Amino acid sequence: MSSENVIEAKGITKYFYDPVKFRVIENISLTIQKGEFVSITGKSGCGKSTLLYILSTMDTVFEGELFINNQSMNNFSEPQLAKVRNENIGFVFQFHYLLQEFTVLRNVMLPGLKFGKYSEKEIEQKAMDHLRTLGIADQAHKKANLLSGGQKQRVAIARALINDPLLIMGDEPTGNLDSKNSDIVMEIFKEIVSLKKQSLLIVTHDEDFAKKTDRIIRMDDGKIV
Amino acid sequence: MKVPLTLEISQTLLLARLKQSIVAAAGVTFGIAMFITLVSFMTGLNKMLDNLILNRTPHIRLYNAITPSSSQPIQKVIEFEESLNGISSIKPSDSRNEIYNSIPILQYLRNDPRVIAVAPKVAAQVFYNIGSIDLNGLVNGIDVKEELRSFSFKDYIIAGDAMDLDRVSNSIIIGKGVADKMLTNVGEIIRVTTAKGDQVSLKVVGVFQLGLAAVDDVQSYASLSTTQKLLGKTASYYTDIQVKLTDIKLAPGMAREYAKIFNVDAEDIQSANAQFESGTKVRNIITYAVSITLLIVAGFGIYNILNMMIYEKMDSIAILKATGFSGKDIRKIFINLSLIIGGVGGLAGLILGLIFTLFIDQIPFNTAALPAIHTYPINYNINYYLIGIVFSLITTYIAGHFPSVKAGKVDPVDIIRGK
């Protein structure tokens, strides 16, 4: 089954040095398989976000080994890691992080254009399809800063999906949303997993949200419990 | 696919901050416009001042100088070969001013590919007769067509027609100073006394003004044959041969070469007019120093604005990195930003500079010394425009480099966690 491992972490340990040396994550190993919907929960400060950033390849200062799609990330250069993120990982953050200067459609298209696998026309088509599924196709040509919080979060999800990544990571994706919007987001995530067999890894402190996922990883004090 | 994408992002960022971008570009525009204006005006002025003298100066002048012979008879006596010979009071021998074998020399020069024009000249000492007064003078016998073609003779004729020298026999074009003193004008007859004492009547067909009193008060021009007649010499008698070259820088070397081949004295334009070169150089240095200063100031403006923009755009940089843009892509985006500001600002600067120079070109500038010039001189040279645009791109590149490196190093985790 190892060929189905989307992400595999072995003995990840991370320290913070400021203001004093402090171990945030202690010897964590985990695997996520294709089509799995996994959530990481825990109290704030337990290191769950830090773990997510390490697994996302954005944070490269840690001990241990990280495999994405069975490839070791440890010796990859910064541009190589950027390429891995572009092609294999989609992000949804608590704060929506859209580019304010661009239209909704352009925001969704940017990672696809960067990937360059499809023509601009095809990417636009795909982006419109995603926006349509997420119910915000009518907002496509608005500037991103004119949307409401729930709408922005759905745009961010569409952007995460544009390159058909193996894995979608979310850092408190519903943290800023009311219960209605967060239910919508949950529905969307469920669909992604069941229809496209993409994996999801969501960091959340919302127990109700976590309960709806396939597997819950609970963290406390930098360790999995 | 990739380059247009980063370019597109740069453009969008720019347009979102249009006012700031325009202010940044205006700095460059002003710098480049001043550079173009200054350099065009300065070099125009330089050229005019230099041309005042250099246009009428041949690149190489061949002549026979009056000097004592370097080999005295005593040196040829074998007995005294080993001894130190001192001779006092040596005088130049009565050698002729004429250039020997002038016809073959002219032919040789005309066949030399480095030579544009060759014009022989005869100089004759005369006195202009005004009633009982004799004025010291010098008649230059010239090849009129060649002088008009290659030595801008026409620019200095303020009355009459230079071609009449060839058409009217015994004709003369006199200097403005001479004409004023003799109270004479085009169409009148003047009398001159040659060095041999003969009196000759010459018809004034023109008046010239070089703007140098030393020349205008003394010299006049006549055709070669008229001057040869004044001297009582044959048609192959030339005292000077003037040579104009394809490249003025070749002059010193070629002067030495000709002196050796033809056994004459040869003077090149550089050693004859060394002071003009240095004046031009100093003025150019000032022009470039001022322009570079202006551009550096504009560069600091761009640096500041880009730095601010990067702080404003931290979130965008973080998200671009998270979605797969590398540090290099981010750097490109901000360098593009800077170069667009530089390119657009620079182009606008070139146009503004051209408008300024066109305006200066219309300002009247009349001076008695320069009959051919009526407005301030401007040198329109495409090279200055190329230098201007390259300048603007280089300064903005350097100004954009450091902020963009900083942007490329932004750690997305810090930004995302920091929220």
Amino acid residing at A47: G
* Residue to substitute from A62, A99, A161, A168, interface B, most B β-carbons within 10 A: A99
C-beta of residue B117 within 8 angstroms of C-beta of residue B243: yes
Contacts with A98 from chain B: Cβ below 8 Å = 319
Distance from the Cα of B323 to chain A's closest Cα (Å) equals: 5
Cα separation, B281 vs B289, in Å, equals 12
pLDDT at B30: 86
Residue B117 forms beta bridges with which residues?
B244
Asked whether the beta carbons of residue A114 and residue B16 sit closer than 8 angstroms, the reply is no
pLDDT at B353: 92
Least Cα distance to A90 among A37, A32, A36, A156 occurs for A156
Of chain B, the percentage scoring pLDDT greater than 90 comes to 10
Cα separation, B359 vs B363, in Å, equals 7
Distance from the Cα of B311 to chain A's closest Cα (Å) equals: 14
Show the CA angle centred on residue A107, arms to residues B24 and B10, nearest 5°: 20
Considering only alpha carbons, which residue of chain A is nearest residue B13? A101
Distance from the Cα of B312 to chain A's closest Cα (Å) equals: 11
Asked whether the beta carbons of residue B329 and residue A111 sit closer than 8 angstroms, the reply is no
The more confidently predicted of residues A199 and A94 is A199
In total, the C-beta contacts within 8 angstroms joining chain A to chain B are 77
Of chain A, the percentage scoring pLDDT greater than 70 comes to 98
- Residue in B323, B328, B419 closest to A85 by CB: B323
Least Cα distance to B14 among B321, B410, B342, B408 occurs for B342
Contacts within 8 Å (CB) and 24+ apart, A43-49:
A43/A205, A43/A220, A44/A205, A46/A219, A46/A220, A46/A221, A46/A222, A47/A14, A47/A219, A47/A221, A47/A222, A48/A203, A48/A219, A49/A171, A49/A203, A49/B417
Q: Is A109 exposed, middle or buried (0-12, 13-18, 19+ CB in 10 A)?
A: buried
- Residue in A53, A82, A101 closest to B325 by CB: A82
* pLDDT, tens digit, 9 for 90 and up, residues B297-326: 777 877 887 788 778 788 888 888 888 888
Asked whether the beta carbons of residue B328 and residue A79 sit closer than 8 angstroms, the reply is yes
Contacts with A92 from chain B: Cβ below 8 Å = none
Nearest-10 Cα torsion for A139, A115, A173, A98: -50
* Residue to substitute from B315, B323, B333, B409, interface A, most A β-carbons within 10 A: B323
Asked whether the beta carbons of residue B322 and residue A91 sit closer than 8 angstroms, the reply is yes
Distance from the Cα of A85 to chain B's closest Cα (Å) equals: 5
**HSE of B23, CA atoms in CB hemisphere, 13 A:** 10
Q: How far is CA B141 from the centre of its chain?
A: 27
Asked whether the beta carbons of residue A101 and residue B13 sit closer than 8 angstroms, the reply is yes
B14 contact A CB<8A = no
Location of structure tokens 């004046």: B279
C-beta of residue A69 within 8 angstroms of C-beta of residue A199: no
Contacts with A96 from chain B: Cβ below 8 Å = none
Give whole-number Cα distances, B413 to B182, B258, B288, B318, in Å.
94, 77, 46, 8
Q: For chain B, how are helix, strand and coil distributed in percent, rounded to 5?
A: 60, 15, 25
Cα separation, B144 vs B173, in Å, equals 11
ipTM of predicted complex: 0.82
Whether the predicted pLDDT of B129 surpasses 80: yes
pLDDT at B273: 74
Whether the predicted pLDDT of B10 surpasses 90: no
Whether the predicted pLDDT of B205 surpasses 80: yes
B15 contact A CB<8A = yes
Contacts with B414 from chain A: Cβ below 8 Å = none
Least Cα distance to B267 among B241, B295, B289, B247 occurs for B241
Prior bond to A19 cis, omega within 30? Answer: yes
- Residue in A56, A101, A114 closest to B325 by CB: A114
pLDDT at B161: 87
DSSP assigned state of B273: S
Nearest-10 Cα torsion for B364, B369, B372, B376: -30
Write down the pTM of the prediction.
Answer: 0.68
Considering only alpha carbons, which residue of chain B is nearest residue A53? B413
B417 contact A CB<8A = yes
Distance from the Cα of B30 to chain A's closest Cα (Å) equals: 29
Average pLDDT over all residues of chain B:
84
pLDDT at B419: 52
Asked whether the beta carbons of residue B323 and residue A91 sit closer than 8 angstroms, the reply is yes
- Pairing relation of β-strands A5-16 and A22-33? antiparallel
- Mean pLDDT is lowest, of A98-112, B109-123, B272-286, for B272-286
The whole-number average pLDDT for the span A147-169 is 82
